[in-house]
Amino acid sequence: MPTALPSARRELFSGLLFSAPAFILLSLIHIVPLLTLIALSFTDYELGALDVRWLGLDNFARAFSDPVFQRALRNTLLYVAIVIPGSVLLGLLIALLVHARKRTRSIYEVIYFLPVTSTLVAMATVWQFLLHPRLGPVNGFLKSLGFPEIAFLSEPSLVIPTLAVIGLWQMVGFNMILFLAGLSTIPRDLYDAAEVDGAGGAVDRFLRITWPMLGPTTMFVTVTTCITAFKVFDTVAVLTHGRGGSEVLLYAIYLEGFHYFKMGYAAALTLVFLAFILVFSILQARRMDRKVHYA
């Protein structure tokens, strides 16, 4: 019919009009910067420079032979390997313990959540003091047990594990709150039914009801922890400044872009970093999605 066309077109037009604000905002905030980043990563752009050279894939080739970047990559993977299982399991454990409290529950919630609300820059001085090899209480305690002085933040082999412990301290409280929310959605009658069926022990109840019912929460917590752990930056920036070979991915990018002013190379490293996060998140989401039981 000849009249159908204009009305279909009008519909198309109004549809586009309605989606335009979201589309424009999305392109301005995410897509245009990402395209700029990709374009920059093929050049040798330096901040303030008047001429720019096209390098092709040179920046990426350089990244994988750059000892600092490789060290940053290794450090980040080690950090992630400690922080993800640590903060998810600890978060769950604390949530289970806190959930069982009746009157004191809110006090424990506040205590464990405090590190999340404190700013690390302000806490950096405290950590530096706590971990001071000579003046700090941590070493004071270790010394009383007969250990020698340990320079947690300067000894190259200990720096990343130390930062990971601080990372745990920062993240456990947040994960605990998420698990608590997950725990409170589990219907009580499931436990009652299990008891009738003879699954009365705490371990039994945990393995058969709590753990499977927490599936969606666990997946969410793991993915967000993974992304946060990969983005580790503030502890390195304020506590070690990358000294003693403690660079992580974001810190290496920050050094290149904001201290050495090699914007092109920093852009290439950022793309590598984005690829890492993307791949890890997809893998994890996929693997866990198959196992998660959505009630």
Partner 1 sequence: MSMLKRTLIAAGALAAFAVPALAAEVKLEGFHANPAFARFHGPIAEAFMKKHPEIEVTYRATSPSYNEAHQQILRSAVTNELPDFYFSGYHLLPELVETLEKRDQIVDLGSFLTEEGEDFVTENYAPRMLALGQIEGKQWGLAFNASSPLMYYNADLVKQAGGDPENMPSDWESVMALAAKINTLGDDITGISYDVGTWPDDWLWQAALYQQGARLFDGEGDVAFGNEAGLKSLELFRTFVTDGGMQILDWNQSRQQFGAGKTGIFFTTPAHLTVITDMVGDKFALRTAPFPLDDKGEMSGVPTGGNAVVMLTKDEAKQKAAWEYIKFATGPEAQKIVVEMTGYLPTNLRTVETDYLGAFYDANPNYRTAIDQIDRSLPWVGYPGGQSVRVWNTQREIIAAVMRGEKTPEEGLEEMVQATSQMMN
Q: Which residues bind partner 1 (CB under 8 A)?
A: 47-50, 125, 128-129, 132-135, 149, 151, 153-154, 239-245, 255, 258-261
**Residue (132 or 208) nearer to partner 1, CB:** 132
Q: Across the strands, what pairs with 215?
A: none
User: Which of helix, strand or coil describes residue 135?
Assistant: coil
Interacting residues of 238 by C-beta distance below 8 A, sequence separation 6+:
120, 121, 124
Alpha helices in the chain (DSSP H): 4-26, 32-40, 58-63, 67-100, 105-117, 120-130, 137-144, 156-184, 188-196, 202-205, 211-213, 215-230, 234-235, 249-254, 263-291
Which is closer to partner 1, CB of 115 or CB of 133? 133
CB distance 198 to 270 below 8 Å:
no
Q: Is 252 exposed, middle or buried (0-12, 13-18, 19+ CB in 10 A)?
A: buried
Q: Which residue number, 228 or 270, has a Cβ lying nearer to partner 1?
A: 270
Q: How far is CA 257 from the centre of its chain?
A: 22
Q: Residue 40 CB, nearest distance to partner 1 (Å)?
A: 13
CB of residue 57 to partner 1, shortest distance in Å: 22
Q: How far is the CB of 269 from partner 1 (least distance, A)?
A: 14
Give Cα separations from 278 to 61, 87, 269, 275, 283 (angstroms). 20, 21, 14, 5, 9
What's the angle, vertex CA 44, arms to CA 43 and CA 46, rounded to 5? 125
Q: How far is the CB of 62 from partner 1 (least distance, A)?
A: 13
Nearest residue (CB) to partner 1, 64 versus 129: 129
- In the bound state with partner 1, the residue whose beta carbon lies nearer, of 255 and 269, is 255
Smaller CB separation from partner 1, 3 or 157: 157
Minimum distance from CB of 133 to partner 1 (Å)?
6
> Please, what is the minimum distance in Å from the beta carbon of residue 206 to partner 1?
43
